Amino acid sequence: MGEYYITDSIPATILGMLRSPEETFRLLRTKEVEDAVPVLLVSLAVFAFGSTFFLGLIASSAGASDYPSLSGLADLGTLIFVAFEMMIFGVILAAITGVLLHFVAYYEGFDEDISQSLKVAGYSAAPYAVGGVIPFFGIIIAPLWCVYLQYTGMRETCYMEPDQAVVTVLVPAAVFAVLFIIMTMLGGDNFSIFGGA
């Protein structure tokens, strides 16, 4: 893969992250954090709208009396609202991930600018683009793939040793895993950012 192929367009950057993350992160090292935002937004948009499309298909075929929680997703307006809510939530999580990556890296002795960690978090959302195209893939595999991309990004962008990159990436992953477990225990209504669809 040539340098032009990997870094000069959003789809090419997403493909580069999926096919050759080490090389892609090396080539993107000099890019600004603002360059990662379109990749993040496109990946999250594909995931959000793809996932809600498949949820809408399931909801429209499910009986309202049998599955009352799915019946609200049969409405197109609700699906669009949920998709935008998923995108906003994803952007917030990516920003928090970038900040956590920066603080853990700083604790480990790396004094890179926070923009490097935010950039790694933004580009690491690329697997969600695939997750939105393949039903139910995103909810299971994409987050794990993102953690791998964060590991690779911290190694290549901040020149970390592998063991340091593992610690740096596992701290935010553990924080989000605990928060997910807490939210799941509290109930499904707590997943809505805006108080329910």
Tens of pLDDT along 123-168?
999 999 888 888 776 778 888 999 999 999 999 988 899 999 999 9
- What confidence score (pLDDT) does residue 69 get? 66
- What confidence score (pLDDT) does residue 2 get? 47
Nearest CA to 17 among 4, 7, 30? 7
Residue 102 pLDDT > 90, yes or no?
Answer: yes
Over residues 84-107, mean pLDDT: 94
Q: Between the CA atoms of 180, 121, 49 and 60, what dihedral angle is there, to the nearest 10 degrees?
A: -20
Over residues 60-89, mean pLDDT: 78
User: pLDDT > 90: what percent of the chain?
Assistant: 50
Distance of CA 93 to the CA centre of its chain: 8
- What confidence score (pLDDT) does residue 4 get? 44
Cα–Cα distance for residue pair 176/59, rounded to 1 Å: 28
Residue 66 pLDDT > 70, yes or no?
Answer: no
B/e letters for 6-15, b = 16+ CB within 10 Å, e = fewer, are bbeebebbbb
pLDDT band at 187 (very low <50, low <70, confident <90, very high): low
Residue 119 pLDDT > 50, yes or no?
Answer: yes
Site of tokens 């690779």: 152
User: pTM for this one?
Assistant: 0.84
